Amino acid sequence: MGFKGDLLVCTSLECETREEMLTSMELAKKEGADIVELCVGSLSFSHISEVEHLFNQRNLPSIVSFGCTKQRRRHSVTETAWLQILKRAVAMGVEFVEINHEVRAWEIINELKRQLSNTKVIISNYVNTGNFTTEKLGDLIVEMQSTNADVIKLVINVDYITDVAPIFHMLAHCQLGMGVIGMQVPLIARAVGERGLISQLLGPKYGAFIVSGSLNGKSEPGLPPLVSIKQIYKLHYMDSDTKIFGVVSNPVAHSKGPLLHNSAFRHTGYNGIYVPLLVDDINEFFRVYSANDFAGFSVGIPHKENAVSCCDEVDPLALSIGAVNTIIRRPTDGLLIGYNTDCEACITAIEDALTEHYNVNGHQSKASPIAGRLFVLIGAGGAGRAMAFGAKSRGARVVIFNRNFVRAKALAEAVSGEALPYECLNEFGPEKGMILANSSAVGMEPNTDQTPVCKAALKSYELVFDAVYTPRKTRLMQEAAEVGSIVVSGVEMFIRQALGQFKLFTDGLAPEEFMRKVVLEQF
């Protein structure tokens, strides 16, 4: 089996019985796996013949390993039995066997290679520290390469998304030839943990020939679901010229951006990929990932305000709002340019809903339907700032509620509005026909039972908007509809701000009808 052909998608199988292992292998094949790791250490068996039957009955190329999570380790395999199983795997032509670098690797590898077989030997190492550098990884790879293994595998525990950068460097370096030996070294690399997800999603760009995914949609930190690798991210089409886009947020798992933007990239033929980026320190993120290939970003909670200072230039609207939700790296000079597409997305969604409700029949009034109304805003973060400035620009009277009253007051002063204590929100109702806009994360998955405003208080609002779009129908939306309010889902804002972002990502290219269809069908 070569290393320069199509990308191989792998998943690890940890099962107690041979039957469970074969059933899981069949499921892995259906979900798009090209190869599976058979974690023999998780199996309960009384005789090696049971393992041989597993090798004979496999329906996918396989890697035989003894690694498995502590929770799934069924029994302790002696070194003698372990070596015997490896020898049988080689004799039976299993595609790969994996050996830990900590054992007698050189001696065992050479003993296995004395057998006439096409089996390739992987030597693996688990790096359980965040204190590593590109140089240290390079030294480790050269040391592992000296064992005469065919493939090197590194599983690295990372604390921050910036820790993944050295992995990309080594992937690219290994494909070009490195170290004192000066030969190509096929490298499998995976960063463990939620912040390591991009090691798999972006690995093929830097030369990875195997990426790993989780089986059956199970959430495993650092691993994308198998089905998403081929259906959403389509990693098989990635090459060294692929431009990287993503959503910089914390949390980020809820984002539907990858589903929408990647579909739009494929639809338009644009060579780009959009990935979730779990970022703790946005300034450090942009310092580390400074290459032009990191071409554009959506900015989410809680980074929208801090993103302003990360940019070399900021669009006047975003600058006045004090929040950026889109950043483009200008290809001519590499400078970061900040924009805000939240503002118009939210306000136009509300305006269109009011216009449709009053059945204007195409007549465009010069005044916004928001003008003169009391616009009650929940939240004073980046999205809240965009809504507040948008409402002000349309002539609304803005009232802001936020758990941090100091932030609410500062935003209210910026838009000539009023800030009130968060505790007074349910009792607030000076007039009928108000507009309520929730920019907070209250009600977002997984906390779908929560709502920022009690149902009784919603009767004072003619229209209720919720920026939360996961779930599509939040509790706030449901209860607002029940009391007769016009409801505008965060999905509508998401579509509109995403259209604005995609135009910036692709210099004007945006298939609006297609993107709207994707969202409405999939969300």
Nearest to 336, CA basis, from 390, 299, 361, 300: 299
Q: What angle do CA 5, 37, 177 make, to 5 degrees?
A: 40
Q: What residues have CB less than 8 Å from 219, skipping those under 6 apart? A: 253
- Number of Cβ within 10 Å of residue 305's Cβ equals 17
Distance, first Cα to last Cα, the chain: 40
Classify residue 225 by its DSSP letter. B
Phi-psi region of 152 (alpha: psi -120 to 50; beta: other; left: phi over 0): beta
Of the residues 120, 230, 304, 392, only one is catalytic, namely 304
What are the tokens at 198?
A: 């991009």
The C-alpha angle with vertex 445 and arms to 440 and 446, in degrees rounded to 5, equals 120
Closest CA to 289 of 198, 221, 213: 198
- Known active-site residue 205: no
Degrees to nearest 5, angle at CA 357 with 482 and 488: 55
Helix/strand number for the chain, H first, E second? 18, 20
Interstrand relation of 243-249 and 272-278 (parallel, antiparallel or unpaired): parallel
As a whole number of angstroms, the distance between CA 302 and CA 304 comes to: 6
Three-class HEC string of 29-63: HHCCCCEEEEEHHHCCCCCHHHHHHHHHHCCCCEE
E strands, 148-253, are 151-157, 187-192, 210-212, 243-249
Determine how many CB atoms are found less than 10 A away from the CB of residue 515. 21
**DSSP characters for 121-162?**
EEEEEEE--S---HHHHHHHHHHHHTTT-SEEEEEEE-SSGG
HSE-up (13 A, CA, CB side) for residue 421: 3
Query: Position of tokens 């013949």?
Result: 49
Q: What does 54-119 look like in DSSP terms, one character per residue?
A: HHHH--S-EEEE----GGG--SPPPHHHHHHHHHHHHHTT-SEEEEETTSSHHHHHHHHHTS---P
* Strands 374-378 vs 434-438: parallel, antiparallel or unpaired: parallel
CB atoms within 10 A of CB 66: 20
- Which residues are the active-site residues? 304
